[in-house]
């Protein structure tokens, strides 16, 4: 039974029993305590905590999940994987233990012909929490499971939580006996390879607090209602029904593994103890990581150096490096990712429709990693050569921060050479860098990172009445004032403060749009609004500089948005939508936005694309954008359900979480239709004009365009016109002849440079011949040691080649910043190697023929030291 069919039967079973089928949430978690959704119940957490009222009392889903805590174990065992799918049925204050147990039993034991999974009831075991007599009784008395197949286990095994404060409760796990060929008898406690867990029924009735581990946390109270949260591992059930050994061999994973084996010439599982053989481990890593990367990019995650993007980057690079260790040095992802797409598309058709964007991000990251490997590996090898015991944290941090060499790869390569890395020290340096960056960013915003005081204001005074769409002016009351994060009763002249109003017309920074600027005016005070933020949902804060008088708590103020600022912001945000639509019109739907920022008169937009845009393509995009302005497309704002927005093709930023009712902004109808909360013009012509100012790479598979709008676009084009006029005057040519005239000047410059290089080569050749003729004889080896201001590598090779090939020769060229040693074939035949000689007098790297390193501490005397070293080492 294919995995997609396992999924279909599960949803059909529960839909027939009154459950609402809920689509999988995106992998990037809305929960701030998580990077990714790591369990099927995560999207339902607010319902279980009583924070939100669920729109249904019963639900079923097949949720995409990613767990990376055990990423280093992936492939080493057949039970660990990063991406998996969790079938789940949920009850929010409706049914509880008995119904949950009945529903599960009916599905897994019903015959295939009746829509079930057809498992042998005599091979199913159940575990319960050691104190849960009710669940044990239900399995024994209602289902009829023999007492010897009901196992009681402790909190670590049978009391479930997300690993963070939140809903929790006792659970009952289902296991299937796969037979004696998989292990010894005795139930799950004897062998969990033979007795495979496939479903966990969680009786969610408590809230847990902070703690570590699976059992070291307090229960802080009961939930508002008793809930059911079950999780059936889709891949595990597929393995059982497909008769394969593990999750790497099901139909959604095995084809990737097989393609990797084919490319590398390996045979998976050909050896005894295959779980531990390095080749089989690496093939499993490839299969798991390629599929995980496909799903993460499909949900909008892009490779980066922080957060979710770093996890994706690490997964992609581990897959690529595993292929290299298996002997495949060519680009691997173009061979593997399409296979992953074909295996997953039956369950997730959007992967096929959006594959061009997904592939662009993945292939670009592999290209970048291959370049990183070339540059960073040489530096790491040099550092490891000089390491005894543990690589210093400062070296690992420099490799990461300067060259993009990931710490996990540094650790892996060092371990292969029997060396450690000071990882705690590296983490400390990374944390310090993050603290500085966070402090700098926070200082530019509210100056206050702790949201606790803001939450107290929200609880006491209620949410801010936000009127940015309706007006530029409000009469408001000051509800709170903070200075340096501390609540105060007033802010005097000249001070910076964060002010909370009961109602505001100011747009708070969000969705890529910068916040509004303007003023707060009281009867005897004025404050300039510098920044507007939403530190918590429902509350708007204003960072102000008091420029006259004193702003006091409880004062009535007039909040006034600068109308010119707002106009420029509206032009820029609508311009962002227009540029996005123009890019998709010219390049195709794969050129999908992955981030944006706009402020009055300026916009930048990041989008998925590999390779730079030619001047002709840039001009075409710019023209398409301005044609839309000339046509004066209407800009319409509509509110609708999220499902309806998706149905009509509204574009959303990947990875974002949206409410059920969303705001859709259309420019020219379907030409540009996006989910957006920003401020916009009423018609496209009000943008004025759009001028693209730059286009560049901002990461693997991502490009960035920058543009100016409105009056700023006019000023930009005026400056360009003036610049052309000045250049035309300086070169003495009409404007329309500038390209040809400048091309002729450049060609003349190249001719002069070529002549200079020719003369320099002649001089170097003459110098080389002179030095070669004066070579010293050191134990039968021609030795030249010389100081030079020229290129030491070129000179050393020239001198070496000027000495007869049959005569052993060593040449050392000492420049102000480096030492180069060149050795000919005859000298290598006498046991001399350039890299060995270099390490004998200093440090550096290279091969047997040429090596290079920094100037040794002995300085110019190193040339004499080398002569002695040659004499001692020559065979």
Q: How confident is the model at residue 48 (pLDDT cuts 50, 70, 90)?
A: confident
> Is 616 exposed, middle or buried (CB count within 10 Å of its CB: 0-12, 13-18, 19+)?
exposed
> Is 750 exposed, middle or buried (CB count within 10 Å of its CB: 0-12, 13-18, 19+)?
exposed
pLDDT of 731-777, one tens digit each?
888 888 888 888 899 899 999 989 988 888 888 888 899 999 999 99
Who's near 545: CB < 8 A, 6+ residues apart? 494, 495, 496, 527, 528, 530
> Shortest CA distance to 544 belongs to which of 597, 604, 458, 476?
476
Range with lowest mean pLDDT among 23-27, 428-432, 559-563? 428-432
Tell me what pLDDT residue 643 has: 82
Q: How confident is the model at residue 245 (pLDDT cuts 50, 70, 90)?
A: confident
Q: Decide if pLDDT at 870 tops 50.
A: yes
Who's near 439: CB < 8 A, 6+ residues apart? none
Q: Decide if pLDDT at 378 tops 80.
A: no
Range with lowest mean pLDDT among 77-86, 89-98, 491-500, 546-555? 77-86
Q: How confident is the model at residue 778 (pLDDT cuts 50, 70, 90)?
A: very high
Q: Decide if pLDDT at 10 tops 90.
A: yes
Could you identify the residue written with the tokens 């960035």?
A: 704
242 φ, ψ (degrees, to nearest 5): -95, -5
Q: What is the mean pLDDT of residues 837-862?
A: 87
> What is the tally of helices (H) and strands (E) in the chain?
25, 35
> Shortest CA distance to 516 belongs to which of 503, 506, 528, 501?
506
CB-CB contact of 487 with 452 (8 Å)? no
What is the rounded CA–CA span in Å between residue 155 and residue 246? 27
Q: Decide if pLDDT at 328 tops 50.
A: yes
Q: What is the mean pLDDT of residues 785-802?
A: 90
Q: Decide if pLDDT at 213 tops 90.
A: no
List, as one string, the DSSP characters of 112-171. GGGTS----GGGEEEEEETT-HHHHHIIIIII---GGGEEEE-HHHHEEE-SSSEEEEEE
Tell me what pLDDT residue 763 has: 83
Tell me what pLDDT residue 402 has: 67
- Which has more pLDDT, 34 or 259? 259
Say whether 573 counts as a known binding-site residue.
Answer: yes
* Count of all residues that appear for the chain in the document: 875
Q: How confident is the model at residue 445 (pLDDT cuts 50, 70, 90)?
A: very low
Q: Decide if pLDDT at 837 tops 50.
A: yes
Q: How confident is the model at residue 448 (pLDDT cuts 50, 70, 90)?
A: very low
List, as one string, the DSSP characters of 16-54. TTTPEE-PPPPSB-SSTT-SB--STTGGGHHHHTTSS--
Neighbours of 416 (CB within 10 A): 10
Q: Decide if pLDDT at 508 tops 60.
A: yes
- The token pair that represents 158 in the structure block: 């049978």
CB-CB contact of 684 with 635 (8 Å)? yes
Percent of the residues in the chain that have a pLDDT greater than 90, as a whole number: 56
pLDDT of 354-369, one tens digit each?
898 899 889 988 988 8
Tell me what pLDDT residue 581 has: 96
Domains of the chain: 3-244 (3.30.930.10), 254-372 (no CATH), 452-561 (2.40.30.130), 568-719 (3.30.980.10), 768-873 (3.10.310.40)
pLDDT of 612-621, one tens digit each?
899 999 999 9
Range with lowest mean pLDDT among 371-375, 501-505, 686-690? 371-375
Q: How confident is the model at residue 556 (pLDDT cuts 50, 70, 90)?
A: very high
> Is 131 exposed, middle or buried (CB count within 10 Å of its CB: 0-12, 13-18, 19+)?
middle
Q: Decide if pLDDT at 701 tops 80.
A: no
Burial letters 698-731, b for 16+ CB under 10 A, else e: ebbbbbbbbbbbbbbbeebeeeeeeeeeeebeee
Neighbours of 766 (CB within 10 A): 11
CB-CB contact of 59 with 90 (8 Å)? yes
Tell me what pLDDT residue 732 has: 87
Burial letters 499-516, b for 16+ CB under 10 A, else e: bbbebbbbbbbebbbbbb
Task: Return the bridge partners of 153, or none.
Answer: 129
Q: Decide if pLDDT at 409 tops 90.
A: no
Q: How confident is the model at residue 624 (pLDDT cuts 50, 70, 90)?
A: very high
DSSP E strands, 439-495: 465-466, 473-483, 486-488, 490-491
Tell me what pLDDT residue 387 has: 76
Residue 35 Ramachandran class (φ > 0 left, ψ -120 to 50 alpha, else beta)? alpha
> Shortest CA distance to 501 belongs to which of 462, 548, 536?
462
Q: How confident is the model at residue 853 (pLDDT cuts 50, 70, 90)?
A: confident
Q: Decide if pLDDT at 447 tops 60.
A: no
What is the rounded CA–CA span in Å between residue 295 and residue 573? 30
DSSP strand pairing (781-787 vs 809-814): parallel
Tell me what pLDDT residue 32 has: 66
Tell me what pLDDT residue 737 has: 87
Burial letters 572-584, b for 16+ CB under 10 A, else e: bbbbbbbbbbbbb
Query: Across the chain, what does the average pLDDT equal?
Result: 89
CB-CB contact of 810 with 822 (8 Å)? yes
Could you identify the residue written with the tokens 């595990």?
A: 236
Q: How confident is the model at residue 700 (pLDDT cuts 50, 70, 90)?
A: low
Q: Decide if pLDDT at 386 tops 90.
A: no
Tell me what pLDDT residue 274 has: 44
Range with lowest mean pLDDT among 298-307, 434-443, 550-559? 434-443
What is the rounded CA–CA span in Å between residue 743 and residue 653? 43
CB-CB contact of 305 with 701 (8 Å)? no
Burial letters 81-115, b for 16+ CB under 10 A, else e: bbbbbbbbbbbbbbbbbebbbebbbebbbbeeeeb
What is the rounded CA–CA span in Å between residue 16 and residue 649? 30
Task: Return the bridge partners of 812, or none.
Answer: 785, 821
DSSP E strands, 700-844: 702-709, 776-778, 781-787, 809-814, 818-823
Tell me what pLDDT residue 275 has: 52
Per-residue CA distances from 849 to 534, 648, 822, 840, 869 (Å): 63, 66, 6, 15, 17
Q: Decide if pLDDT at 434 tops 70.
A: no
> Is 849 exposed, middle or buried (CB count within 10 Å of its CB: 0-12, 13-18, 19+)?
middle
- The token pair that represents 802 in the structure block: 């000027």
Q: Decide if pLDDT at 113 tops 70.
A: yes
HEC-encoded secondary structure of 232-265 = EEHHHHHHHHHCCCCHHHCCCCHHHHHHHHHHHC
Q: Decide if pLDDT at 694 tops 50.
A: yes
Q: What is the mean pLDDT of residues 589-602?
A: 89
Q: How confident is the model at residue 158 (pLDDT cuts 50, 70, 90)?
A: very high
List, as one string, the DSSP characters of 63-84. EEEE--TTGGGBTTBSS--SEE
Who's near 518: CB < 8 A, 6+ residues apart? 472, 506, 529, 559, 560, 561, 562, 565
Say whether 65 counts as a known binding-site residue.
Answer: no
Q: Decide if pLDDT at 860 tops 90.
A: no
545 φ, ψ (degrees, to nearest 5): -115, 120
Neighbours of 434 (CB within 10 A): 11
Could you identify the residue written with the tokens 């279909």?
A: 8
DSSP strand pairing (556-561 vs 473-483): antiparallel
Q: What is the mean pLDDT of residues 397-425?
A: 78
Range with lowest mean pLDDT among 71-75, 195-199, 326-330, 645-649? 71-75
- Which has more pLDDT, 99 or 76? 99
Could you identify the residue written with the tokens 């009784």?
A: 137
Q: What is the CA radius of gyration of the chain?
A: 34
Angle between helices 355-385 and 407-416 (to 10 degrees): 50
């Amino acid at each position: 039974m294919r995995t997609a069919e396992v999924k279909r039967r599960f949803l059909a079973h529960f839909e027939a029993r009154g459950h609402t089928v809920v689509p999988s949430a995106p992998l990037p978690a809305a929960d701030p305590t998580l990077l990714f959704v790591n369990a099927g119940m995560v999207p339902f957490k607010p319902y279980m905590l009583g924070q939100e009222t669920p729109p249904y009392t019963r639900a079923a889903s097949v949720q995409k999940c990613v767990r990376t805590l055990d990423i280093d174990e992936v492939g080493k065992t057949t039970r660990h994987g990063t991406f998996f799918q969790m079938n789940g049925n949920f009850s929010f204050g409706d049914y509880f233990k008995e119904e949950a147990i009945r529903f599960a039993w009916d599905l897994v034991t019903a015959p295939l012909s009746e829509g079930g999974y057809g498992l042998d009831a005599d091979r199913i075991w159940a575990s319960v929490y050691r104190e849960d007599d009710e669940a044990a009784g239900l399995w024994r008395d209602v289902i009829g499971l023999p007492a010897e197949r009901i196992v009681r286990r402790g909190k670590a095994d049978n009391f479930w939580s997300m690993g963070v404060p939140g809903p929790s409760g006792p659970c009952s796990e289902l296991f299937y006996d796969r037979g004696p060929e998989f292990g010894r008898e005795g139930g799950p406690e004897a062998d969990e390879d033979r007795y495979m867990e496939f479903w966990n029924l969680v009786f969610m009735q408590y809230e847990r607090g902070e703690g570590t581990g699976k059992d070291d946390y307090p229960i802080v109270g009961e939930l508002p209602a008793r809930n059911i949260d079950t999780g059936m591992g889709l891949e595990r059930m597929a393995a059982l029904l497909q008769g394969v050994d593990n999750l790497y061999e099901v139909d959604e994973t095995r084809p990737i593994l097989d393609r990797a084996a084919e490319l590398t010439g390996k045979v998976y599982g050909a050896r005894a103890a295959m779980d531990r053989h390095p080749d089989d481990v690496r093939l499993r890593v490839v299969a798991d990581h390629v599929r995980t990367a496909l799903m993460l990019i499909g949900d909008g995650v892009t490779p980066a150096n922080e957060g979710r993007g770093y996890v994706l980057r690490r997964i992609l690079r581990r897959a690529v490096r595993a292929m290299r260790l298996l002997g495949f040095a060519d680009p691997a992802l173009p061979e593997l990712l399409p296979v992953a797409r074909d295996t997953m598309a039956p369950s997730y058709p959007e992967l096929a429709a959006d594959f061009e964007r997904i592939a662009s991000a993945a292939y670009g990251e592999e290209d970048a990693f291959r370049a990183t490997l070339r540059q960073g590996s040489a530096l790491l090898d040099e550092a490891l050569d000089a390491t005894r015991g543990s690589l210093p944290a400062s070296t690992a941090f420099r490799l990461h921060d300067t060259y993009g060499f990931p710490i996990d790869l540094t650790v892996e390569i060092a371990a292969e050479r029997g060396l450690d890395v000071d990882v705690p020290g590296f983490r400390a340096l990374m944390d310090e860098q993050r603290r500085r960056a966070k402090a700098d960013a926070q200082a530019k915003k509210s100056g206050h990172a702790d949201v606790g005081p803001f939450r107290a204001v929200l609880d006491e005074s209620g949410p801010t009445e936000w009127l940015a769409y309706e007006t530029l002016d409000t009469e408001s009351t000051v509800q709170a004032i903070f200075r340096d994060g501390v609540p105060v009763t007033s802010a005097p002249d000249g001070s910076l403060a964060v002010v909370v109003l009961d109602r505001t017309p100011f747009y708070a920074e969000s969705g890529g749009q910068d916040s509004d600027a303007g003023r707060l005016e009281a009867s005897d005070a004025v404050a300039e609004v510098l920044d507007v933020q939403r530190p918590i949902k429902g509350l708007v804060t204003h960072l102000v500089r008091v420029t006259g008088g004193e702003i006091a708590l409880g004062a009535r103020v007039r909040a006034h948005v600068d109308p010119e600022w707002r106009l420029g912001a509206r032009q820029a945000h609508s311009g962002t939508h227009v540029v996005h639509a123009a890019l998709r019109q010219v390049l195709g739907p794969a050129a999908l936005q992955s981030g944006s920022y706009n402020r009055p008169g300026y916009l930048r937009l990041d989008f998925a694309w590999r390779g730079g845009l030619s001047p002709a393509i840039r001009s075409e995009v710019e023209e398409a954008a301005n044609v839309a302005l000339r046509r004066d497309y209407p800009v319409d704002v509509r509110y609708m359900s999220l499902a309806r927005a998706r149905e009509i093709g509204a574009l959303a930023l990947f990875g974002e979480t949206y409410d059920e009712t969303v705001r859709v902004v259309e420019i020219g109808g379907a030409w540009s239709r996006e989910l957006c909360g920003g401020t916009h013009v009423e018609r496209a012509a009000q943008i004025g004009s759009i001028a693209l100012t730059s286009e560049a790479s901002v990461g693997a598979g991502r490009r960035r365009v920058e543009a100016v709008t409105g009056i700023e676009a006019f000023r930009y084009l005026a400056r360009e016109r003036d610049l052309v006029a000045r250049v035309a005057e300086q070169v003495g040519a009409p404007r329309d002849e500038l390209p040809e005239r400048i091309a002729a000047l450049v060609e003349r410059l190249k001719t002069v440079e070529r002549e200079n290089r020719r003369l320099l080569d002649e001089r170097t050749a003459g110098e080389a011949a002179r030095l070669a003729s004066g070579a010293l004889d050191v134990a039968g080896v021609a030795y030249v040691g010389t100081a030079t201001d020229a290129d030491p590598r070129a000179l050393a090779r020239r001198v070496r080649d000027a000495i007869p090939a049959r005569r052993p020769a060593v040449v050392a060229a000492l420049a102000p910043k480096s030492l180069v040693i060149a050795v000919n074939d005859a000298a290598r035949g006498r046991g001399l190697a350039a890299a060995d000689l270099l390490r004998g007098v200093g440090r550096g790297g290279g091969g047997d023929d040429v090596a290079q390193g920094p100037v040794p501490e002995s300085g110019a005397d190193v040339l004499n030291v080398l002569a002695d070293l040659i004499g001692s080492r020559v065979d």
